[in-house]
């Protein structure tokens, strides 16, 4: 019966924003007609699809399909991905899980290609929803944990709270109440801060369920009643509906069957009005149980048939299970044990792929065991009883369950043997036969306990093996992705090398002509000067001297250009990605000048004091030049950026300064890049190496520079990359690389 809270919470999670959207569907249609851009139209269609999920699922699915087509037409990938999330939600509520899964996979590929972390966080929540609706709560919890991880990295409170609320419900469905209550309380605190009455009502309703399962009936009733009050005040009929249904469960556990029946029927009627087949079927099943406990078996059987038909329309395993289990109870109380067994078997058949550990399912196994016992099939009765004990063991302590099992088994076997003895033997041998029956019962009890213990150990070993295999697969996948990234980077560097070599060769030929003709012209001028000196023509000598000076400058700058071209050729020849023995001081000097002059070219008024303290005694070390150069260039650019930001803040009353130091430290080479810029706030210092995290304003940084630098230093070169900083004073990046 706990499925009710789960389903509604997912609606709130994925479509919580629709409550705040006051325009009706016709208003959205008018806005769609007025917009002039395709992108704006697609965004409005997404809102319309969200709104329609609570009104008409078929219409919501059709709008989502139209939105996907429109987004594909203009290659608007983010719009397509969000539309596929909406389409998957519609399919989930229709029970078409394969279609939902297909759309989620396509959306996942798009979000990954866009590096859209917010989209991925929402996607993981949708995966959790899909598996939760199929009662696969282990998978549901896995994806909600991934959603929490993404939301925490993004500091997205709304996404984080949705994940908290839904993972709590998944834990609750597995009877793991401690984390369920912890996450639910976090969710309630968030909604109280937001003054969101609608979501407070929903959260209190779910907390009422948890209190009920924990045995705190008083708090359970208080939470559910408060939920109804808030939902009525906010006009949220969905929450009111689910609270009624859950109050029915609460009063049934308190054996107030009349009140339980009344609340269950309230929920069923309201569910029918809202077109929610799932809650209607579940509430009818609760009403059936209450009627059965009131001994109104004829009326209960008729209502059970209606519950089964409604559950079939909902296409959700838990609803069908509840309806058939309720029918099984009614038939059992009518002593129609064969039909009762058939109903219970159908109930378990629809739950084959679920992973729920629920006392109500254990109770169903117990009733099935009694039905088998009544028809004389003791082997199946024992098997069903073992299932009951196994499920109860996962909810309560194993020791208590073992004792309860022994007591119940002894009682059942003793009762059966006593009846047999009364029919077959006389009173003078009754005591001896009873002792024999007790011995047999005790032996069977011990045997059952041993079998249960063996099954538990086997399951534990299997779970351990599966966990180990899962970790191995995840490790292999991580290594594969790392290797793939390295191969792609090497291909890029190889292509860059080929391009550089081509350009350098094209420049080299005309440059050689310039240098050669300048040198020849210089030689001819020397000969001309010697001839003119014999004629004593002073004015001509001055002119030839000036021409000679100019030619010397041409030769000088031509040789400089030649050195640059040779450097380009040398760079292209080293772009294989292989490690080489290099002098780090030379590499640092080259990239420091490159970064400084590159920024000067873009910002003419940029100026900074460059201080270098390079230890000439350090040995050459093995590095990949292009990768280390990339790291150095990134650190220098960050340092220059920080000093420029501080200069702007202080209106120029400040002199930027960047210091670069190298020294040998034991078996390592240490490189320090320090600036007197804005510094890094203490609150974010631990996050600067995370992918997509940046302290720069939106549009000025990707958040990948330091993350890639960290991977190059730590993974590619076995070194360390650390940061020391004080806000508004300085930042110092420290690289430690192993010496040869």
Residues 131 and 154 in one domain: yes
Q: Which of 526, 544, 577 is the last residue of a domain?
A: 577
Residue 407 domain-assigned (yes or no): no
Question: Residues 733, 723: contact at Cβ < 8 Å?
Answer: yes
Ramachandran category for residue 732: left, alpha or beta (phi over 0 → left; psi -120 to 50 → alpha): beta
| Position 227 in a domain | no
In a domain, 184, yes or no: no
Query: Structural domain of residue 95, as residue ranges?
Result: 1-174
What's the rounded Cα separation, in Å, for the pair 207 and 228? 13
Closest Cα partner for 187 from 225, 160, 155? 160
Would you state the pLDDT for residue 79?
Answer: 93
From residue 471, give the alpha-carbon distance in Å to each of 462, 465, 467, 474. 14, 10, 6, 5
46 and 86 in contact (C-beta within 8 Å)?
Answer: yes
d(CA 673, CA 735): 9
| Confidence class for position 158, pLDDT limits 50, 70, 90 | confident
Domain boundary among 351, 375, 396: 396
590 and 712: one domain?
yes
Total domains in the fold of the chain: 4
Half-sphere exposure of 408 (CA within 13 A, CB side): 17
Other residues' Cβ atoms within 10 Å of the Cβ of residue 168: 29
CATH number, domain at 98?
1.25.40.10
| 386 and 468 in a common domain | no
Please tell me the distance from the alpha carbon of residue 29 to that of residue 49, in angstroms, as a whole number: 11
Least confident of 43-47, 130-134, 263-267, 412-416: 412-416
Evaluate if residue 172 carries a pLDDT over 50. yes
The distance of Cα 82 from the centroid of its chain, to the nearest Å, equals 16
DSSP code of 432? H
Range ranked top by mean pLDDT from 63-67, 265-269, 389-393:
63-67
Q: Tell which residue, 279, 223, 286, has the closest CA to residue 8.
A: 279
DSSP 712: I
Q: Is residue 401 part of a domain?
A: no
| Burial bucket for residue 368 (CB in 10 Å: 0-12, 13-18, 19+) | buried
pTM, full prediction: 0.42
Q: Could you tell me the pLDDT band of residue 509, with boundaries at 50, 70 and 90?
A: low
Lowest mean pLDDT among 192-196, 199-203, 501-505, 534-538: 501-505
Supply φ then ψ for residue 199, to 5 degrees.
-75, -30
137 and 8 together in one domain:
yes
Q: What backbone phi and psi angles, to 5 degrees, belong to 352?
A: -60, -40
Residue 662 has pLDDT above 90, yes or no: yes
Query: Are 461 and 360 part of one and the same domain?
Result: no
pLDDT of 476 reads 84
Query: CA-CA distance, 116 to 692, in Å (whole number)?
Result: 10
Query: Residue 677 belongs to a domain with what CATH number?
Result: 3.30.565.10
Rounded Cα distance between 221 and 204, Å, is 10
- Predicted confidence band at 356 (pLDDT cuts at 50, 70, 90)? low
- Displacement of CA 323 from its chain's centroid (Å): 34
29: in domain:
yes
CB atoms within 10 A of CB 11: 18
Distance from C-alpha of 627 to C-alpha of 644, rounded to nearest angstrom: 26
In this structure, the answer to whether residues 599 and 570 fall within a common structural domain is no
The strand ranges marked E within 544-689 are 580-582, 609-614, 621-623, 657-665, 668-675
Summarised one tens digit per residue, pLDDT across range 512-561 is: 778 777 777 877 777 777 777 777 667 777 777 778 788 777 877 777 67
Q: Assess whether 65 and 90 both reside in one domain.
A: yes
In whole angstroms, what is the distance from residue 477 CA to residue 400 CA?
43
Residues in the chain, total: 740
Nearest 10 degrees: Cα torsion 161, 164, 165, 169:
170
For residue 730, the cross-strand partners are 726
30 shares its domain with 140: yes
Count Cβ atoms within 10 A of the Cβ of residue 18 and give its class: 0-12 exposed, 13-18 middle, 19 or more buried.
Answer: middle
First to last CA, the chain: 67
Answer yes or no: do 713 and 609 share one domain: yes
441 & 558 share domain: yes
Considering the domain architecture, whether residues 570 and 660 belong to the same structural domain is answered as: no
Q: Is the pLDDT of residue 487 over 70?
A: no
Domain-ending residue, one of 560, 577, 594: 577
Structural domain includes residue 226: no
Residue 496 is predicted with a pLDDT of 55
Same domain, 591 and 569: no
How do the residues of the chain divide into helix, strand and coil, expressed in percent and rounded to 5?
A: 75, 5, 15
What 3 state SS string does 629-669 have?
Answer: HHHHHHHHHHHHHHHHHHHHHCCCCCCCEEEEEEEEECCEE
Average pLDDT, the chain: 82
């Amino acid at each position: 019966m706990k499925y009710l809270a789960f389903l509604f919470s997912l609606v709130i999670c994925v479509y919580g924003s629709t409550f705040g959207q006051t325009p009706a569907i016709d208003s959205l249609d008018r806005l769609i007609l007025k917009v002039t851009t395709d992108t704006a139209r697609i965004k409005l269609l997404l809102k319309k699809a969200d709104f329609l999920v609570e009104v008409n699922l078929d219409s919501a699915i059709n709008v989502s399909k139209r939105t996907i087509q429109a987004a594909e037409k203009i290659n608007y990938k983010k719009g397509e991905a969000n539309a596929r999330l909406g389409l998957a939600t519609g399919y989930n509520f229709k029970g078409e899980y394969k279609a939902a899964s297909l759309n989620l996979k396509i959306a996942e590929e798009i979000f990954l290609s866009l590096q859209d972390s917010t989209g991925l966080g929402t996607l993981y929540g949708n995966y959790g929803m899909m598996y939760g609706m199929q009662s696969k709560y282990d998978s549901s919890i896995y994806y909600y944990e991934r959603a929490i991880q993404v939301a925490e990295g993004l500091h997205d409170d709304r996404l984080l709270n949705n994940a908290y609320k839904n993972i709590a419900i998944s834990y609750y469905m597995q009877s793991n109440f401690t984390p369920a209550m912890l996450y639910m309380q976090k969710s309630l605190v968030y909604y109280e801060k937001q003054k969101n009455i609608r979501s407070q009502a929903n959260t209190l309703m779910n907390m009422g369920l948890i209190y009920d399962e924990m045995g705190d009936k008083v708090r359970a009733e208080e939470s559910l009643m408060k939920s109804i009050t808030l939902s009525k005040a906010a006009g949220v009929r969905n929450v009111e509906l689910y609270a009624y249904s859950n109050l029915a469960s609460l009063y049934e556990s308190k054996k107030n069957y009349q009140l339980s029946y009344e609340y269950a029927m309230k929920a069923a009627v309201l569910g029918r009005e809202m077109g929610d087949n799932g809650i209607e079927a579940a509430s009818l099943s609760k009403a059936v149980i209450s009627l059965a406990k009131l001994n109104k078996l004829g009326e209960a059987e008729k209502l059970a048939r209606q519950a089964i038909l409604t559950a079939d329309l909902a296409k959700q395993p838990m609803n069908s299970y509840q309806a058939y289990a309720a029918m099984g109870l009614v038939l059992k109380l009518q002593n129609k044990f064969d039909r009762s067994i058939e109903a219970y078997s159908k109930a378990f058949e629809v739950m084959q792929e679920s992973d729920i550990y629920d006392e109500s399912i254990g109770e169903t196994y117990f009733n099935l065991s009694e039905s088998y016992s009544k028809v004389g099939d003791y082997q199946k009765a024992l098997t069903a009883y073992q299932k009951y004990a196994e499920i109860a063991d996962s909810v309560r302590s194993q020791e208590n369950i073992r004792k309860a099992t022994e007591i119940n088994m002894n009682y059942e076997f003793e009762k059966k043997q006593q009846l047999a003895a009364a029919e077959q033997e006389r009173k003078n041998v009754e005591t001896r036969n009873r002792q024999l029956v007790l011995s047999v019962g005790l032996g069977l009890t011990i045997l059952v306990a041993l079998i249960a213990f063996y099954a538990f150990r086997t399951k534990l070993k299997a779970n351990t093996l599966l966990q180990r295999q899962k970790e191995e697969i995840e490790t292999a996948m991580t290594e594969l992705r790392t290797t793939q990234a390295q191969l792609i980077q090497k291909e890029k560097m190889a292509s860059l090398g080929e391009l550089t070599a081509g350009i350098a060769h094209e420049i080299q030929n005309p440059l050689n002509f310039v240098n050669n003709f300048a040198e020849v012209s210089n030689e001819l001028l020397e000969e001309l000067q010697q001839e003119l000196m014999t004629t004593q023509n002073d004015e001509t000598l001055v002119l030839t001297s000036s021409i000679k000076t100019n030619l010397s400058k041409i030769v000088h700058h031509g040789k400089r250009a030649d050195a640059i071209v040779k450097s380009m050729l040398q760079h292209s020849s080293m772009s294989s990605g292989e490690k080489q023995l290099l002098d780090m001081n030379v590499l640092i000097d080259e990239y420091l000048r490159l970064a400084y002059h590159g920024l000067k070219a873009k910002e003419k008024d940029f100026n900074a004091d460059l201080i270098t303290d390079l230890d000439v005694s350090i040995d050459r070390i093995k590095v990949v030049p292009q990768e280390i150069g990339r790291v150095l260039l990134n650190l220098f650019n960050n340092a220059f950026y920080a000093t420029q930001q501080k200069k702007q803040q202080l209106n120029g009353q400040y002199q930027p300064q960047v210091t670069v130091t190298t020294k040998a430290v034991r078996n390592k080479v240490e490189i320090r890049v320090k600036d007197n810029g804005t510094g890094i706030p203490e609150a974010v210092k631990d996050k600067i190496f995370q992918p997509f995290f940046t302290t720069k304003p939106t549009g000025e940084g990707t958040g990948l520079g330091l993350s890639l630098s960290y991977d190059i230093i730590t993974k590619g070169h076995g070194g360390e990359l650390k940061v020391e900083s004080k806000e508004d004073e300085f930042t110092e990046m420290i690289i430690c690389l192993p010496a040869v």
